[in-house]
Amino acid sequence: MPRRTSSSPAAGADGHVHSAPEPVSTRARERRQRVQSAETGMAVLKGLARLGGRASLTALATHMGESPAKVHRYLASLVEEELVTQDSGSQHYHLGPAAIQIGVAAMRQADPLRLAEPALVRLRESLEVTCFLAVMGNKGPTIVRFEEPGLPITVNVRVGSVLPLLWSATGRAFLGWLGDETRVRALADEELAAAGAARRASLDGAAPIDRLCAAVRAAGCAWVRDTNLPGISAIAAPLFDHAGRVRAVITALGATGGFDPDPDGAIGRAVRQAAQAASRQLGEERPPPARPSTPA
């Protein structure tokens, strides 16, 4: 008689029944599928956030380049976890209470001093120049973190120093995006009124503050050469938060003879990149501003 075969697990030498081991390729495939599902779920949340936190299924699917059916499956799971909710009237989806809680927790950690510190250290080490971080204080841009290279240059600014808005790269970086605020504009007007003829001549005679702000915004950074301190050049770039507000400014400075303050030079690119990286951690999502090929 032919021997019957069975699909049941066979007993091992120890007398226990053992299941056949799962193929490695199957486990790897399942892991990949789980990772891909998680990535798609995160893409749905990011897409909804980039559309202002509220969108229709069609708009969200179009934005993601995915089919509405696929996006809907992930939205259903996100709704169950309260990461997304759906408006019963418009049927639009928007970020839910769980997503808001995550966002609030992230915003509480978005301290520009903490987030910019690694960038300052990298700039100092890679460029071997003095770098510092400033915030806008009651009297003007105020240095709150200072990093010097192994062979520092002599400058009379330190933590706590207040810098001018019109004559320092740091001040100009703040002014470029805060020049419309009443308090900041008043400080700039006071500086201009108190400036000597030589300094005033270095600015555009017609609407000098407005033109300076426009040039800084167009370049995405500010620069000076022997303007605030004789023999010192500097370049500065702003840090933006999730609302597009300037929270701080990163500045690099050095002796004019060996420091290139051109926004398109090596130092200018490094400072802008450091500021953009810190801004991303603060939640900023705006595209980098367009810049002219040469400084204005």
User: Residue 5: pLDDT above 50?
Assistant: no
Same domain, 50 and 135: no
- If you average pLDDT over every residue of the chain, what do you get? 81
Q: Could you tell me the CATH number of the domain that includes residue 123?
A: 3.30.450.40
Task: Indicate whether 167 pLDDT > 90.
Answer: yes
Domain boundary among 77, 106, 135: 106
Residues in the chain: 296
The predicted structure's pLDDT at residue 110: 56
The phi, psi pair for 139, rounded to 5°, reads -100, -5
Question: Are 199 and 277 within one domain?
Answer: yes
Provide CB contacts within 8 A for 14, sequence distance 6+: none
Among residues 46, 75, 106, the one where a domain terminates is 106
In-domain check, residue 228 = yes
- Residue 173 pLDDT exceeds 70: yes
pLDDT > 90? residue 175: yes
In a domain, 233, yes or no: yes
If asked whether residues 115 and 101 sit together in one domain, one would say: no
Inside any domain, residue 293: no
Average pLDDT (17-25) is 57
Mean pLDDT of 39-58: 85
Min mean pLDDT across 23-27, 70-74, 94-98 is at 23-27
* Residue 14 in domain: no
Residue 17 placed within a domain:
no
Decide if 205 is inside a domain.
yes
- Asked if residue 24 has pLDDT above 70, the reply is no
Residue 76's domain is classified under what CATH number?
A: 1.10.10.10
Residue 70 lies in a domain: yes
pTM, two decimal places: 0.63
Residues 133 and 83 both lie in one domain: no
Q: How confident is the model at residue 184 (pLDDT cuts 50, 70, 90)?
A: very high
Q: What is the mean predicted confidence (pLDDT) over 185-194? A: 91
99 and 127 in a common domain: no
Count of domains observed in the chain: 2
**Residue 164 domain boundaries:** 110-281
Model confidence pLDDT, tens digit, residues 193-224: 888 888 888 887 788 999 999 999 999 999 99
Rounded to an integer, the average pLDDT of 153-178 is: 88
The pLDDT value given to residue 19: 55
132 with 73, same domain? no
- Same domain flag for 50 and 134: no
Residue-wise pLDDT tens digits, 124-142: 888 888 899 999 988 899 9
Does 270 score more than 90 pLDDT?
yes
**Whether residue 123 sits in one domain with residue 102:** no
**Distance between CA atoms of residues 221 and 53, nearest Å:** 30
- Note the pLDDT of residue 108: 62
Of 47, 78, 106, the residue at which a domain comes to its end is 106
Asked whether residue 95 falls in the same domain as residue 132, the answer is: no
Do residues 132 and 148 both lie within one domain? Answer: yes
Angstrom distance (rounded) from CA 128 to CA 181: 35
68: in domain: yes
Same domain, 131 and 264: yes
pLDDT of residue 170: 96
Q: Is residue 89 domain-shared with residue 142, that is, in the same domain?
A: no
Q: Residue 105: pLDDT above 70?
A: no
> Does the pLDDT value for residue 236 go beyond 70?
yes
